[in-house]
């Protein structure tokens, strides 16, 4: 064995396969080093059986950047892991690499890597490395997906960068990168906090199935957050709950290309959650319930506003899910979103089965 690590446990969260691809490269390298390696999606993790405490054990975490920070599902996962004093950790967020002609532009991971690393440091793990990798942007609600050649060109650049990083890690060195993105991420903390507290809930309520949907339920069965419920009968249609992480798996792997994100609904959400509407409602609530007006406390009014925003989005989405069962309304919303014209994306060599909740690779 050419490494100080006898055992590498790799956990990944991946919507469209980018983070899975990076995780599988780590798995390959760990085996080449002569150690044991295990690759598991976080939704199938059994940490007490999988993480070996000790100085000869390495834990790798790979996940997408969302809102310039760590996705909520990954934060939750890290918080529930056991404290392991001597175990080493490497943290690798993937981010939105972009290619325009011959020009490659990096994504911005912000606090994604170091926030997770901080949680592990507080639990007593030894942080060995942090590095973001540019993989093709998968945010198809926002822009068309990359063509396969462009995606492959971006992916090919990530591999040597990862190899160099892993070379250092398996040789027992530390490799902490991304200090400038971290500083930018700290400046963008209000955006990241807004994303985690409200943005992600709004984004997940933009998804809907068009008339092309045949109710096969593939999206619900393969959602890593278990956030999709099939509702109705003729045919059943997917309904996105607040547990959705906007990972884009459903939209990008749907065989009928029947899942869109409604830009029109985004405008409606912006209107109903705008300050004047909520202030009117909150003023009315405090005029009806005297103890609230007496409190005159900014935290209370912030909380009320927060509850108002989430409730109004949930109610509007519920109504919307009923309306789009009417075929002509569904057609109208399908044509009123740009995603109808956007190419879908997933990591070109990744099949949906590889991302599934079952354990992927066992120790070798
Ligand atoms: C909702 C959402 C938010 C995103 N936010 C960011 C971001 O803040 N910075 C960034 O560089 N990439 C961002 N991305 C791009 C993904 O992090 C990137 O494409 C990642 O490699 C996807 O990995 P996956 O295929 O494993 O899910 C975002 C993607 C989505 C869907």
Q: Which CATH number covers residue 240?
A: 3.30.70.20
Question: Do 86 and 109 reside in the same domain of the chain?
Answer: yes
Question: Do 92 and 221 reside in the same domain of the chain?
Answer: no
* Range 206-228 average pLDDT: 96
Give tens-digit pLDDT for 23-77. Answer: 999 999 999 999 999 999 999 998 888 887 788 999 999 999 999 999 999 999 9
Q: Which two tokens stand for residue 58?
A: 């390495």
Question: Do 279 and 142 reside in the same domain of the chain?
Answer: no
Q: Which of 139, 181, 185, 244 to probe ligand 1 with, by most ligand atoms within 8 A of CB?
A: 139
The answer to whether 224 touches 245, Cβ cutoff 8 Å, is yes
Give tens-digit pLDDT for 220-270. Answer: 999 999 999 999 888 899 999 999 999 999 999 999 999 999 999 999 998
Mention every residue, 6+ apart, whose C-beta is less than 8 A from residue 136.
18, 96, 97, 98, 99, 145, 146, 150, 151, 154, 155, 345, 347
Q: What is the number of structural domains in the chain?
A: 2
Mention every residue, 6+ apart, whose C-beta is less than 8 A from residue 189.
111
Q: Which CATH number covers residue 100?
A: 3.40.50.360
Query: What's the whole-model pTM score?
Result: 0.93
Looking at residue 363, its pLDDT comes to 43
Work out the mean pLDDT of the chain and round it to a whole number: 91
* CA 181 to ligand 1 centroid distance, Å: 15
- pLDDT bin (cut points 50, 70, 90) of residue 273 is confident
Listed range (4-8, 52-56, 79-83, 238-242) with the worst mean pLDDT = 52-56
Domain-located, residue 300: yes
- pLDDT bin (cut points 50, 70, 90) of residue 319 is very high
The answer to whether 14 touches 25, Cβ cutoff 8 Å, is no
Domain-located, residue 352: no
Q: Which atom from ligand 1 is nearest to the alpha carbon of 20?
A: 26
* Range 335-354 average pLDDT: 95
Question: Do 156 and 264 reside in the same domain of the chain?
Answer: no
* CA 255 to ligand 1 centroid distance, Å: 22
Any ligand 1 atom below 6 A from CB of 18 = yes
Give tens-digit pLDDT for 143-186. Answer: 999 999 999 999 999 999 999 999 999 999 999 999 999 999 99
Question: Do 159 and 300 reside in the same domain of the chain?
Answer: no
Domain-located, residue 353: no
Give tens-digit pLDDT for 93-140. Answer: 999 999 999 999 999 999 999 999 999 999 999 999 999 999 999 999
Q: What percent of the chain has pLDDT over 90?
A: 79
Looking at residue 61, its pLDDT comes to 98
Looking at residue 228, its pLDDT comes to 97
Question: Do 182 and 236 reside in the same domain of the chain?
Answer: no
Question: What's the burial of 266, exposed, middle or buried (CB within 10 Å: 0-12/13-18/19+)?
Answer: middle
Q: What are phi and psi of 311, to 5 degrees?
A: -65, -45
- pLDDT bin (cut points 50, 70, 90) of residue 274 is confident
Name residue, tokens 């120790």: 363
Look up the domain containing 227 and give its range: 200-341
Any ligand 1 atom below 6 A from CB of 70 = no
* Range 204-232 average pLDDT: 96
Domain-located, residue 29: yes
Question: Do 72 and 176 reside in the same domain of the chain?
Answer: yes
């Amino acid at each position: 064995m050419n490494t100080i690590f006898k055992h590498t446990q790799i956990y990944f969260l991946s919507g469209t396969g980018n983070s899975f691809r990076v995780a599988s490269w780590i798995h390959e390298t760990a085996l080449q080093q002569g150690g044991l390696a295990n690759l598991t999606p976080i939704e199938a993790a059994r940490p007490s059986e999988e993480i070996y405490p000790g100085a000869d054990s390495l834990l790798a975490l790979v996940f997408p950047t969302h809102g310039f920070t760590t996705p909520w599902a990954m934060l939750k996962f890290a918080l529930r892991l056991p404290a392991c004093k001597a175990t080493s950790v490497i943290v690798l967020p993937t981010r939105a690499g972009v290619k325009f002609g011959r020009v490659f532009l990096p994504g911005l991971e912000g606090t994604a890597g170091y926030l997770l690393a901080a949680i592990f440091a507080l639990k007593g793990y030894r942080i060995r490395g942090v590095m973001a990798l540019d993989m093709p942007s998968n945010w198809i609600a926002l822009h068309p997906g990359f063509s396969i050649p462009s995606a492959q060109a971006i992916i090919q650049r990530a591999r040597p960068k990862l190899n160099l990083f892993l070379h250092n890690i398996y040789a027992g060195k530390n490799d902490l990168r991304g200090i400038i993105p971290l500083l930018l991420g700290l400046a963008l903390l209000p955006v990241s906090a807004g994303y985690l507290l409200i943005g992600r809930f709004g984004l997940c309520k933009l998804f809907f199935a068009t008339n092309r949907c045949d109710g096969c339920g593939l999206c619900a069965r393969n959602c890593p957050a278990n956030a999709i419920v099939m509702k109705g009968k003729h045919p059943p249609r997917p309904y996105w709950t607040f547990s959705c992480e906007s990972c884009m798996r459903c939209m990008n792997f749907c065989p009928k290309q029947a899942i869109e994100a409604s830009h029109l609904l985004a405008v409606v959400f912006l209107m109903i959650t705008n300050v004047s509407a909520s202030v009117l409602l909150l003023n009315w609530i405090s005029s009806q319930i005297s103890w609230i007006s007496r409190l005159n406390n900014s935290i209370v009014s912030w909380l009320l506003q927060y509850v108002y925003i989430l409730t109004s989005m949930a109610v509007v989405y519920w109504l919307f899910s009923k309306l789009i069962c009417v075929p002509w309304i569904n057609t109208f919303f399908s044509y009123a979103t740009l995603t109808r014209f956007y190419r879908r994306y997933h990591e070109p060599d990744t099949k949906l089965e590889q991302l599934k909740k079952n354990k992927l690779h066992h120790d070798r």
